Structure 1
Amino acid sequence: MRLTSTNLDDVVSKIVDSLKKGGVVLHPTETVYGLACDPKNEEALKLLYTIKNRDPEKPVSIMVDSIAMADRYGVFSDYANSLLDQFWPGPVSVMVMRQKMSLPEFFNPEHKFIAIRYSSDPFCRKLVKAFGGPIVTTSANLSDKPSCYMVKDVKKQMGVRRFGKIDLVADSGKLPENPPSTIVKIVGDTTVFVRGDGSELGGIMR
């Protein structure tokens, strides 16, 4: 499905329907193409891991549409909040302690931390808001393979069988070749870069 500025609401509505039915969706972000599913649907999560050929012990992130929503799923210290005020919304996923009982036990089992992303992309934010809760977000590529900036590259990398398991594709054409989102883990008053070095954040956390 081609995504344009004129059909954004219609595409979002169709994606929400797919997610609520347990589908995995391919969509653009401000960085790379991503895969999304409902974090509260165990079968959808299993399907997403299958499509990516991802180790089931590796966690995935969630995407929210506000800091208020993020607070329901992660524990943010005053230090963490001071950082969020500076670089959210943006291409940054923040790993903080997970709020107890906020998501089912099958979501990232055995992981006490959760990575949360508040995207600066208007489409992503509209999608999460329309869905009414967080969605899983992960890059649309096979594990340990390059990120994809065009839908055709996702299909080529995954192959027909895996790509065919994706329920809905939102294609906005070639994305700018920005690096994948930075992932930063916050422990107390310390930040640890899990992916990226923070250079694109203008030295905020250096």
Structure 2
Amino acid sequence: MRDYIQNYDENKDLILDVFLSGGIAAYPTDTIFGLGVDALNPEAVKSLYYLKQRPEKLPFSILFPHVENILEIVDVSGKCRDFLTSVFPGPVTAVLPLKDPRYFSSGFLSDEYTGFRIPDHPFCRWLSHNYENPVITTSANPSGSVPLLSLQEIENLYQDRVDLYIDDPADGFSRSNLPSTIFKISRDDKISILREGQIPGEELLERFFKISRDQ
């Protein structure tokens, strides 16, 4: 049995209950619609891998409320910290080295790096601030497929396999046909673009190198 809500502000308890019970939710972000589960619930994580037909060697990204929360658990230099502060919140995913690869206990990490998102979207801000555990965030399309651009497309595809569909018709954010731009920063301060998205990779590289030169 799936639920569909149009105003998350009036259904906060329902949303939190779905995540607490290990359910899967589809929700708006600052790019395309996403799917999310409790990142510390191994069964929920497995269900999301199965739903997206995603190889388990590919880790998901994590939704965080503030860049300061990310900086507490990653191993990057001062200039990289300044760069991350300059791009978050926004339509980017940062793949970063963890200080402790055991930080997340659900087993979805394939190595010592994981992706982080801080979407510039009111629902994502509310969820990351109010849910007690980290939340996985990933695009709603099956792995390797084109993005799903509307909640109706997502519901038509997954039906009851997603427990909660969250729309926000007035938000104006979730109708983009471009996902987040993914970049990776290594422990030795090397940056690479893994996927082009809403922000051109070249623009991110220019910003990174400018911050590096200024320090």
Q: The TM-score by the shorter chain falls in which range?
A: 0.7 to 0.9
TM-score w.r.t. the length of structure 2 is: 0.83
CA distance in 2: counterparts of 1:96 and 1:141, whole angstroms = 24
TM-score w.r.t. the length of structure 1 is: 0.87
Give the CA deviation at 1:99. Answer: 3.2
2:212 is matched with none
Provide closer, same or farther for how the CA distance between residues 163 and 181 of structure 1 changes in structure 2, counting only shifts above 3 A. Answer: same
Query: Deviation string for 1:116-173 (max 9, x for gaps)?
Result: 11111111011111103321000001111111121121234x3xxx431111110224
Is the aligned partner of 1:140 residue 2:143?
no
CA distance in 2: counterparts of 1:200 and 1:11, whole angstroms = 38
Provide closer, same or farther for how the CA distance between residues 55 and 118 of structure 1 changes in structure 2, counting only shifts above 3 A. Answer: same
Give the CA deviation at 1:112. Answer: 1.2
Is the aligned partner of 1:205 residue 2:193?
no
CA distance in 2: counterparts of 1:202 and 1:95, whole angstroms = 14
Aligned residues: 198
CA distance in 2: counterparts of 1:150 and 1:48, whole angstroms = 19
* 8 Å CA contact 2:67, 2:85 repeated in 1: no
CA distance in 2: counterparts of 1:163 and 1:29, whole angstroms = 20
1:115 is matched with 115
Give the CA deviation at 1:199. Answer: 4.8
Give the CA deviation at 1:92. Answer: 1.0
1:167 is matched with 163
Query: Deviation string for 1:170-196 (max 9, x for gaps)?
Result: 022483224101111002222100111
* 8 Å CA contact 2:140, 2:154 repeated in 1: yes
What is the root-mean-square deviation in Å for CA atoms of aligned residues?
2.1
CA distance in 2: counterparts of 1:74 and 1:98, whole angstroms = 4
* 8 Å CA contact 1:96, 1:185 repeated in 2: yes
CA distance in 2: counterparts of 1:13 and 1:147, whole angstroms = 29
Tell me which amino acid in the other structure corresponds to 1:49.
Y
Give the CA deviation at 1:57. Answer: 1.4
- Structure 1, unaligned runs of 5 or more: none
* 8 Å CA contact 2:71, 2:81 repeated in 1: no
- Structure 2, unaligned runs of 5 or more: 210-215
- Other structure's SS at 1:74 match: coil
CA distance in 2: counterparts of 1:133 and 1:79, whole angstroms = 29
CA distance in 1: counterparts of 2:36 and 2:72, whole angstroms = 19
* 8 Å CA contact 1:11, 1:170 repeated in 2: no
1:51 is matched with 51
* 8 Å CA contact 1:12, 1:126 repeated in 2: no
Give percent identity, aligned residues only.
Answer: 29
